Amino acid sequence: MNIDLTGKTALVTGASRGIGEAIARGLAQSGAHVLCAARSAERVNELAAQLGNATGVALDIAAPDARERVAALVKERAVDILVNNAGITEDDLFIRMKPEAWTNVIRTNLDSAFAVTQEVVKKMIRARWGRVINISSVVGLMGNPGQVNYASSKAAIIGFTKALALEIGSRNVTVNAIAPGYIQTAMTDALGDDAREKLAERIALKRLGTVEDVANAVVFLASEQAGYITGTVVNVSGGLYT
Ligand SMILES: NC(=O)c1ccc[n+]([C@@H]2O[C@H](COP(=O)([O-])OP(=O)(O)OC[C@H]3O[C@@H](n4cnc5c(N)ncnc54)[C@H](OP(=O)(O)O)[C@@H]3O)[C@@H](O)[C@H]2O)c1
């Protein structure tokens, strides 16, 4: 299957590192022009320069002016593929969790998807073509101690995905979520070999996922070939959760 995204523009939030960076690379390699967005302006500009068919965008999706910033962005260049990837954790046991830890996580992982997506899909609807891909987590499906705020945000993004898919499917805009399991990033690299092996034991495929495992699923969902898939959650967890 040859995936060709030439002529499409993609906006990837949280593209400065980790999974988002791999998604930006994957989409650019498939021919899309990628708007690489994150708070670290320097890093996204570097990445965009490396990719060639890309633009770095300094954007804090949790800031009060995020909606206006995105509106200005899409006014300049319509976005065909939106990947809501930026996300944070602020873990704590529930009884100790500070209200700010709850609010920060919900604001970044959920509220921002509302604002960003609303600004972007208006033009997709008019164009009668669009792809919205939301990065959730298996934690939103199975829960995880110490992550009540994060699991809530990731479960909510699945409801968001399903409801929006039903609303805008008739306009040829698909909306899907991806639920990654344990993915090898700077965070998991910091764990010792023992801890990583214990994690891998719980996974059917006996290894942590790579950022490319997630990016491949995103590129497929963004493609023409995935045009009949909407409202789904693609589980990229190596069988950690089935
Ligand atoms: N890693 C995993 O094992 C795993 C598993 C399941 C799901 N996920 C999900 O996958 C997504 C990416 O995770 P990751 O592991 O790649 O995380 P990461 O390495 O911590 O990267 C997070 C990205 O989000 C950006 N970001 C955070 N807050 C932002 C804000 N307010 N505005 C704009 N950008 C912001 C960061 O860039 P700046 O700091 O430059 O803004 C960074 O590019 C997240 O939604 C996460 O919940 C990850």
Q: What is the pLDDT of residues 145-184, one digit of tens each?
A: 999 999 999 999 999 999 999 999 999 999 999 999 999 9
What's the 14 CA to ligand 1 centre distance in angstroms?
Answer: 5
- In the chain, the amino acid numbered 215 is A
Which of 25, 85, 147 should be mutated for ligand 1, with most atoms under 8 A from CB?
85
Q: What is the DSSP string of 96-158?
A: G--HHHHHHHHIIIIIHHHHHHHHHHHHHHHHT-EEEEEE--THHHH--TT-HHHHHHHHHHH
Q: Which atom of ligand 1 is nearest to the CA of 21?
A: 43
pLDDT of residue 137: 97
Q: Output the CA 1–ligand 1 centroid distance in Å.
A: 29
Mean pLDDT of all residues in 6-31:
98
| For the chain, domain boundaries | 9-235
Ligand 1 pocket member 130 (CB < 6 A):
no
**Among 197, 182, 187, which Cα is nearest to 236's?**
182
Packing angle, helices 18-29 and 211-222, rounded to 10: 50
Q: How far is the CA of 170 from the centre of ligand 1 (A)?
A: 31
Distance CA(222)–CA(226), nearest Å, equals 7
Regarding the domain with residue range 9-235, which homologous superfamily does it belong to in the CATH classification? NAD(P)-binding Rossmann-like Domain (3.40.50.720)
Indicate if the pLDDT at residue 28 is higher than 90: yes
Q: Confirm if 57 and 37 have CB atoms less than 8 A apart.
A: yes
